[in-house]
Amino acid sequence: MKRLHKLYRAFVLILKKPYLLNKIIDDNDAWQARVQKEYGNGGGLRELRFHDLAGGVEVSVKPFSFLEGGSLPTDLALLRLLAAGFEDCKYFEIGTWRGESVANVAEVAKDCTTLNLPAGEMLEAGLDPAYVEQHAMFSRGLPNVLHLEGNSQTFDYAGLNKKYDLIFIDGDHHFESINQDTQNVFKHLVHDQSIVVWHDYAWQPGNVRYETLAAIMGGVPETFHKNLYAVRNTLCAICHPGDLRSQKPSVVAKKDEAFEIRLKA
């Protein structure tokens, strides 16, 4: 009887506030069930150890704003490490925001391209002018950063006629957008040694954001599924062509996977 009453209350609430349906559809558990059913990896991707990828190299992260909407220091460090692994790295990024990720990579890569929605389009969509104005604040004026304006879903990637070593997908974080961005990247921008990184694969390191995983699995050509990993201590998933040691996903902290952080304001 209690359950029926609950069901009735839920039904009335949804009738009154239909947007509540999205909360059910977008629920992390629902996405996890979908990923498990379609791909059998409802436990998340196998993990690469950040410490293995870094191989003992010390890396500084700069700039880092410690503000809303940015990446973790380890995410930026990962991008820098990966870029430094290519000679004259060519980097492409979807989602500029303050330009923090591209400014970090620009210190170690030869040429960087970052794509974002045009300011006018963001203002027309009703976004706060103060938010819009902050775009590219760290990357504007850097000599090796090309800023492209456009919608990543419809952008003419073929027109670039170029392949990139490292690609960072960090634009709109809904399923359809990540899925489309991923398909576009694999169709137009990768060569056989390219590394692709997705941000917001996890809510917190180890706590998988299954909507992102569903979009990655759906957007990455099946032949590359074996190259997909999560990177421990970051919010990133990665498609890496190398033959890498990986482990089962786990949220358990390990003492030998800690970091030293020095801050300079």
Ligand X SMILES: C[S@@+](CC[C@H](N)C(=O)[O-])C[C@H]1O[C@@H](n2cnc3c(N)ncnc32)[C@H](O)[C@@H]1O
Which residues are near ligand X by CB under 6 A? Answer: 69-71, 95-98, 100-101, 115-117, 135, 151-153, 170-172, 177
Cβ(115)–Cβ(91) below 8 Å:
no
In degrees rounded to 5, what are phi and psi of residue 117?
-55, 145
Distance of alpha carbon 202 from alpha carbon 194, whole angstroms: 22
User: Phi and psi dihedrals of 258, rounded to 5?
Assistant: -90, 170
CA–CA separation, 62 and 103 (whole Å): 8
CB of 19 to ligand X, least distance (A): 20
**Cis peptide bond N-terminal to 143, omega within 30:** no
Contacts of 72 by beta carbon, 8 Å cutoff, 6+ apart:
205, 234, 235
Give the number of residues written for the chain.
265
Shortest distance (Å) from residue 227 CB to ligand X:
22
- Least distance from ligand X to the Cβ atom of residue 196, Å: 14
Q: Nearest residue by C-beta to ligand X? A: 95
Task: For the CB of residue 119, give the shortest distance to ligand X in the complex, in Å.
Answer: 9
Q: Is 41 or 169 the residue whose CB approaches ligand X more closely?
A: 169
Nearest CB to ligand X, comparing residues 15 and 125: 125
Q: Between 41 and 202, whose beta carbon lies closer to ligand X?
A: 202
**Based on CB atoms, which residue is closest to ligand X, 18 or 159?**
159
Closer to ligand X by CB, 177 or 233: give it: 177
CA distances from 36 to 116, 126, 236 (A): 32, 37, 20
CB of 5 to ligand X, least distance (A): 42
